[in-house]
């Protein structure tokens, strides 16, 4: 436990550093230059508090670069103003938001269900379900919701919702919270990368055992990331933020995405999925940020790891099922990879006897990359804004493509 805590502490330090670098780099470009005030007199306090622009839905939408649906939701055959909305408040995270959601749809009944049994009962005549993973994609709740028209996921990953046959058959609208946790997850990916690149997996164990042993540097993976190449697999919201931070560290960033070759200026090349193995051969670090779909399930297998450099690092902050766990364990234990940082694994939790636990240069965290000290203000403002849009029949935000799964 002490070793684990030390690794997490190291991750936190590097994450703050990486995030600060990226923010400063972006601010230096984006912030306008303004002349300093000539007066030395103190500025009078405003008579009324000045609203933070980031508190508004429009500012959050712009900052997170969220997509708006091309057509108003009222054009869907099953749309109607919502009559009943069920908020899945199983762990208490969401229960305090019921009143705010009710204000966004004042003509609808908003009910907070605090356990699975209550959710199944209340969802039977609900138009809308709102909640976090895993309960938002609970098949028992969704299948019994005969009037269900919209699933508002308060998380980004919705593959378990998309996989429910009744959702596809009824063409239920799904929206998610893409972008909201991108900064935290991106910093976690960079933290894992930096920790492995500087041997902190080795020295955390030394710390836990109260050992001062400079000789352990010989068995640590030690490298400088400046001028190295990072491959980001899945250049979506999270992938873009990982790329931004890697670029701020002086890395050359390449990426893949499902459609097209477009990308931000800080990504030197964007390839299609068919180019994955070719790009993997160039990479010193590979970071998976791709959503879980049939095409990405088992994507990182023995063939992929054989294509990587034997010194390269593999980072996964997306979904564990994208990796063939046994193949990764074999590559690491055979010293055919430089190391791996995993916030997600398959299965979760990983059984104690799994060979992956014995692999060298490995850091595993229990699917917590999206956790941070930031309040959930953005998440709830966006939930309220999308609910307002739905009630009015307007264009929705962050609509999930049921065919593609994200």
pLDDT of residue 375: 81
pLDDT for position 55:
55
pLDDT at 1 over 60: no
- Whether 82 and 146 map to the same domain: the answer is yes
Q: Taking residues 386-401, what's their average pLDDT?
A: 98
Report whether pLDDT(17) > 50: no
Q: Give the residue among 252, 208, 205 at the shortest CA–CA distance from 232.
A: 252
Q: Quick one: pLDDT at residue 265?
A: 97
290 and 240 together in one domain: yes
**Whole-number pLDDT of residue 298:** 98
Strand pairing partners for 254? Answer: 231, 269
Q: Are residues 123 and 227 in the same domain?
A: no
Asked if 263 and 129 sit in the same domain, the reply is: no
Q: Are strands 252-256 and 229-233 parallel, antiparallel or unpaired?
A: parallel
245 & 360 share domain: yes
Clarify whether residues 382 and 311 are in a common domain: no
Distance (Å, whole) CA 97 – CA 351: 37
Tokens of 332: 């690491």
Give 362-376 pLDDT, tens digit per residue. 999 999 999 999 888
Same domain, 176 and 189: no
Domain that includes residue 280, residue range: 182-364
Q: Does 23 map to a domain?
A: no
The reply to whether 397 falls in a domain is: no
262 and 210 in one domain?
yes
pLDDT bin (cut points 50, 70, 90) of residue 384 is very high
Structural domains in the chain (count): 2
pLDDT tens for each residue of 221-246: 999 999 999 999 999 999 999 999 99
Please report whether residue 282 resides in a domain: yes
Residue 229 within any structural domain of the chain? yes
Q: In the structure encoding, which two tokens stand for residue 129, read together?
A: 């379900």
| 142-162 pLDDT per residue, tens | 999 999 999 999 999 999 999
Residue 11 lies in a domain: no
Mean pLDDT of 110-135: 97
pLDDT at residue 224, as a whole number:
98
Question: In terms of domains, do 97 and 176 share one?
Answer: yes
List strand residue ranges (DSSP E) for 176-247, in order.
229-233
In a domain, residue 36? The reply is no
Same domain for 259 and 324, yes or no, is: yes
Per the domain annotation, does 113 fall within a domain? yes
Position 12 pLDDT exceeds 50: no
Please check whether residues 358 and 236 belong to one and the same domain: yes
- CATH number of the domain that residue 294 is part of: 3.40.50.720
- Tell whether 270 and 254 lie within a shared domain: yes
User: Measuring CA to CA, which residue among 94, 178, 86, 93 is closest to residue 126?
Assistant: 86
User: Would you place residue 6 in the very low, low, confident or very high pLDDT band (cuts 50, 70, 90)?
Assistant: very low
Q: What pLDDT sits at residue 7? A: 42
CA-based radius of gyration for the chain: 23
Look at residue 40 in the predicted model and tell me its pLDDT. Answer: 30
């Amino acid at each position: 436990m002490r070793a684990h805590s030390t690794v997490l502490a190291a991750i936190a330090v590097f994450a703050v550093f990486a995030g600060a670098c990226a923010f400063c780099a972006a601010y230096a470009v984006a912030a306008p230059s303004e002349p300093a005030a000539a007066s030395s007199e103190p500025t009078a306090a405003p008579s009324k508090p000045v609203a933070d622009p980031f508190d508004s839905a429009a500012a959050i939408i712009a900052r997170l670069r969220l997509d708006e649906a091309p057509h108003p939701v009222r054009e869907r055959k099953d749309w109607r103003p919502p009559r009943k909305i069920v908020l899945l408040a199983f762990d208490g995270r969401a229960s305090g938001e019921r009143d705010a959601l009710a204000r966004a749809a004042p003509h609808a009944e908003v009910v907070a269900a605090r356990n699975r049994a209550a959710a199944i009962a209340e969802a039977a005549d609900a138009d809308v379900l709102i909640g976090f993973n895993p309960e938002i994609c609970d098949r028992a709740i969704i299948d019994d919701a005969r009037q269900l028209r919209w699933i508002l996921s308060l998380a980004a990953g919705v593959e378990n919702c998309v996989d429910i046959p009744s959702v596809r058959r009824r063409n239920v609208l799904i929206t998610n919270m893409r972008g909201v946790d991108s900064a935290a997850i991106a910093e976690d990916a960079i933290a894992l990368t930096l920790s492995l690149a500087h041997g902190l997996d080795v020295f955390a164990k030394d710390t836990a055992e109260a050992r001062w042993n400079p000789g352990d540097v010989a068995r640590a993976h030690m490298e400088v990331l400046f001028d190295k190449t990072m491959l980001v697999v899945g250049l979506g919201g999270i992938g873009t933020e990982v790329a931004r931070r890697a670029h701020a560290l002086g890395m050359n960033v390449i990426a893949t995405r499902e459609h097209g070759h477009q990308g931000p200026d800080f990504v030197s090349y964007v390839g299609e999925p068919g180019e994955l193995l070719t790009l993997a051969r160039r990479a010193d670090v590979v970071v998976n940020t791709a959503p879980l779909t049939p095409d990405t399930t088992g994507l990182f297998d023995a063939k992929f790891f054989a294509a990587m450099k034997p010194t390269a690092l593999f980072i996964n902050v997306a979904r564990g099922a994208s990796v063939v766990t046994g193949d990764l364990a074999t590559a690491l234990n055979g010293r055919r990879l430089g190391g791996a940082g995993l916030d997600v694994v398959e299965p979760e939790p990983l059984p104690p006897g799994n060979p992956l636990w014995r692999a060298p240069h490995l850091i595993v965290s229990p699917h917590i990359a999206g956790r941070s000290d930031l309040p959930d203000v953005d998440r709830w403002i966006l939930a309220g804004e999308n609910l307002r849009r739905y009630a009015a029949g307007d264009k929705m935000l962050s609509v999930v493509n049921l065919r593609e799964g994200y």
